[in-house]
Amino acid sequence: MDFGPAVSNAPFHVVGLDWAIDDAINGTNHPEIQASVNESFRDELTISPLTAYSVDHPKDVPRDLISNRGRAFIDVLESHGRDIYPDGLRACWALSKMGYHHLVLEIVPDDVSRDLSSASSSVDIEFAYLRTWAMFRCWLDDPRIPYRVQSFEDIALHAPVSRPKLHAAYQVVMQTAKFSGDRAKCGEWQERHAKILSDISLDLEPPEIARLTSRFHRVGGFLPQMDADADGVEREMTLAERAIRDAPAPDEFEETARLEMLFPCIESRMRESLWRGDLDSATSRAEEYINIRPTDPKGWSYRADILVEQAHFNAAAANFAMAAALAPPGRSIALYMRAQCLQQVGDDEGALLSLLDCIEADPLAIGAVAATADLSTRMGRKEISTWCSTRLEELVAMSREDHIPSIPEPYQKY
């Protein structure tokens, strides 16, 4: 939060931010880190005692809470003023890596993608992709944002061969598979994705080609999955894993970038193992995930999910607790799941405390409020059940009115 350097074995989204700030300040060119965060991640992170960092612009953070490097980055931003386009591309990517996507939309002109085929420079294409990326990340938090996947399609179809063109094609395949399930469209766009990857590989170094090839096969796994073709999924995932495990890494930066691309590959193979009912393989992959980045909460949540499948509820609760301690992301979900596990082993008091922590982390968690109402009623905790009843009524009413409810008074008030 203070823009200081990433600690050893930091989660990859932190490494990506670290490198992006360094690139913005010093003009360096680190390998690309794919990991990014939404604005909701910032919201989850900047709760008490970090509320001073809950600002709309990095310059609004109190100066005494920012590292020297952070001040240098803010100086870079302020040196551009409102004219950050076209010379402030690195600074804009750093803002995106911090989750300031609305700020990126404010300062990058909305007409940057007007004529991609005749863009005057690669920077124009980068800005067009960045603006579309920022819009997509905002939409993930708020579906009312006017984002459409067609914006990525336009870049992939009309931009010259470039990294943004390739990334846009990947996004079309991934988003179509996840959000619409249009098998025919996925197949068509995966063919375009393959052609662009082949074209751009002529200008890239082997480490980056390997990373992008792994990503290509990983997203390609969606196609046989939609066909319920288990062997096809296994084939694509094997190619994805082999490409990244065999990728050259001539220095520590390239090795970090390789591991970052291996991470989602392990995650995909773990999900594949669960899909195939192979819990031993899923457990092995979850262990590898944790060993690579023990500070990433997702690995602990994945292992907890597998332990739930095996009915090892005490161990699952411990893993969910670790995930919650390392969050964000996912603190409220981990706490909710921990409560479910504790109830399975008869620890209602521990489950109740975990549910209350969940509601504190996410005051809009209507499922957690409902679960707390049920549990506290069965336990005879009238003050909590009364608070839950009131809060449920508020949440239901406010959801109908389509606006965000306020943070409630704590249950102890009732």
Average pLDDT, the chain: 89
- Position 408 scores a pLDDT of 46
Letter for the amino acid at 99?
G
Q: Which residues lie closer than 8 Å to 284 by C-beta, 6 or more apart?
A: none
Q: With 80 as the cut, is the pLDDT of residue 159 above it?
A: yes
| pLDDT tens track for 313-333 | 999 999 999 999 998 888 999
- Position 409 scores a pLDDT of 45
SS3 11: coil
Q: Which residues lie closer than 8 Å to 271 by C-beta, 6 or more apart?
A: none
Helices (H) and strands (E) in the chain, counts: 20, 0
| pLDDT tens track for 4-40 | 778 778 889 899 999 999 999 999 999 999 988 888 8
Cβ count near 403 (within 10 Å): 8
Q: Report CA dihedral (235, 238, 243, 245) to the nearest 10 degrees.
A: 180
d(CA 406, CA 385): 19
Structure tokens at 218: 């990983």
> pTM of the entire structure?
0.84
110, with CB counted inside 10 A (0-12, 13-18, 19+), is exposed
Q: Can you tell me the mean pLDDT for 398-407? A: 57
| pLDDT tens track for 260-283 | 999 888 988 888 788 888 999 999
Q: Report CA dihedral (31, 41, 291, 264) to the nearest 10 degrees.
A: -60
